[in-house]
Amino acid sequence: MCVGQGRVNQLGGVFINGRPLPNHTRLQIVEMAAAGVRPCVISRQLRVSHGCVSKILNRYQETGSIRPGVIGGSKARVSTPEVERRIEELRQESPGAYSWEIRDRLVKEGLCDKNNAPSISAISRFLKESAARAGGHKHSIDGILAGRRRDGRFHEGC
């Protein structure tokens, strides 16, 4: 509480790191752009970085909304009970299986498709938790995902 995290950017504008711009500022950006004002002018006038103006306008074009995305929370873990059950089964069938192998199986078996299949880390986590629940039957899935960086910043080339 009592945030007080206001910082000043190169243009002299105040922003809170990690938090979206206030709604009225976002609205102003799209309104000015709609009125034909150039992004660089918007950026200077509102004292918002041009990268941000570009981002917000881009998003507005794509979604038709000025609102920021949903911040925080984690992706649903392993989507359905059915999928969870299948993962348990696969684990019992082949305890040494890698998370990606299990994921592959789920997709192949049609329990989920490529786009909505649980992430590797979700599977790994689910396995860990279910192993713990089952009474500490631990196998070394840990660390398989070690290379995964947050935010996908690490552009791992598949």
Partner DNA sequence: AGCGTGACGGTTGAC
Partner DNA sequence: TAGTCAACCGTCACG
Residues that bind DNA (CB under 7 A): 3, 5, 9-11, 13, 15, 17-21, 26, 38-41, 43, 48-52, 54-56, 58-59, 68-77, 119, 121, 145, 148, 150-153, 155
For DNA, give the closer residue by CB, 71 or 108.
71
CB 11 → DNA: shortest distance, Å?
A: 6
CA dihedral (71, 72, 73, 76) in degrees, to 10, reads 50
CB of 95 to DNA, least distance (A): 21
Provide the token pair at 49: 């970085």
Cβ distance to DNA smaller for residue 67 or 93: 67
Chain centre to alpha carbon of residue 86: 25
Taking the least distance from each CB to DNA, the nearer of 108 and 150 is 150
Burial class (CB in 10 A: 0-12, 13-18, 19+), 158: exposed
Quote the least distance from Cβ 105 to DNA, whole Å.
20
Q: How far is the CB of 43 from DNA (least distance, A)?
A: 7
With both helix axes pointing from N to C terminus, report the angle between 23-34 and 39-46 in degrees, rounded to the nearest 10. 150
User: Which one, 68 or 93, has the nearer CB to DNA?
Assistant: 68
- Residue 124 near residue 144 (C-beta atoms within 8 A): yes
